[in-house]
Amino acid sequence: MKSITIQGTKRESVGKKSTKALRDAELVPCVVYGGAETLNFSAEEKSFKGLVYTPEAHTVSIEVDGKTIPAVLQDIQFHPLTDKILHADFYQLADDKPVVMEVPVRITGRSKGVVAGGAMRQSFRKLKVKAIPANLPDEIVVDVTPLKIGSKLYVGGIKTEGFTFMHPDNAVVVAVKMSRTAAKGGAVIDDEDEEETAEGETPAAEATSAE
């Protein structure tokens, strides 16, 4: 997984006055958990551009006082009116310690249902995964080509290598619905998919696996 670097300065004071002064100076109060000690630091708001305002997933190298701490962003707070970053929480990475983070979903192919006039609905733009740092994927690639009108792609139908999803197997990632155009054209719905679901079989079994 790609990594970006954030230069920080250790915070000696974490009171309200100190926090306000940092924000007035366009600095973001931050904290890193998960290590031997919790680290409070501040960083320039512009250094978050490549981490927050992008669809890609990244780990972070936090450089403070000559030390580099590998981490992932766990939480970030924005001002409700200005969208200014108010605070950021990071979790320190360890080679042998699994971590949870969100990874973007990338759709490939053109589903048979869409070709027939159906409409594709993507329920998840990102999925939460759990893995040791070395196995964190850059993205989750799913091929929707086999999906017909009425078909669904479930979390349980996506292949994983070295990581697990933090979602139920029957969570729907992508579905192809009947559209008005398809209905007028007499498009055929994937009846087999509908019947299996009605009979209570495991949704993941009917899902198309992403390569």
CATH number at residue 122: 2.170.120.20
Do residues 117 and 158 share a domain? yes
Do residues 120 and 169 share a domain? yes
Q: pTM to 2 decimals?
A: 0.77
Average pLDDT of the segment spanning 179-189: 58
Largest CA distance in the chain: 69
Domain final position from 74, 93, 112: 93
**Based on the number of CB atoms within 10 Å of its own CB, is 95 exposed (0-12), middle (13-18) or buried (19 or more)?**
exposed
Residue 209's pLDDT is what? 38
Residue 203's pLDDT is what? 38
Do residues 112 and 189 share a domain? yes
- Judged against a pLDDT cut of 90, whether residue 4 lies above it is answered with yes
Range of the domain at 30: 3-93
Average pLDDT of the segment spanning 163-168: 97
Residue 43's pLDDT is what? 95
Do residues 51 and 81 share a domain? yes
Q: Which residue has the higher pLDDT, 181 or 78?
A: 78
Do residues 79 and 152 share a domain? no
And the tokens for 173? 């990632």
Average pLDDT of the segment spanning 93-120: 94
Q: Residue 184: which pLDDT band, with cuts at 50, 70 and 90? A: low
Within a domain: residue 211?
no
Domain final position from 51, 77, 93: 93
Q: Which residue has the higher pLDDT, 201 or 21?
A: 21
Domain final position from 93, 123, 155: 93
Number of domains in the chain: 2
Do residues 75 and 153 share a domain? no
Kindly report the CA angle at 55 between 100 and 117, in degrees rounded to 5?
110
Residue 197's pLDDT is what? 37
- Judged against a pLDDT cut of 50, whether residue 210 lies above it is answered with no
Give the C-alpha separation, 187 to 46, whole Å. Answer: 50
Side chain identity, residue 141: V
Residue 94's pLDDT is what? 94
Q: Find the CATH number of the domain harbouring 42.
A: 2.40.240.10
Do residues 45 and 113 share a domain? no
| Cα radius of gyration rounded to whole Å, the chain | 22
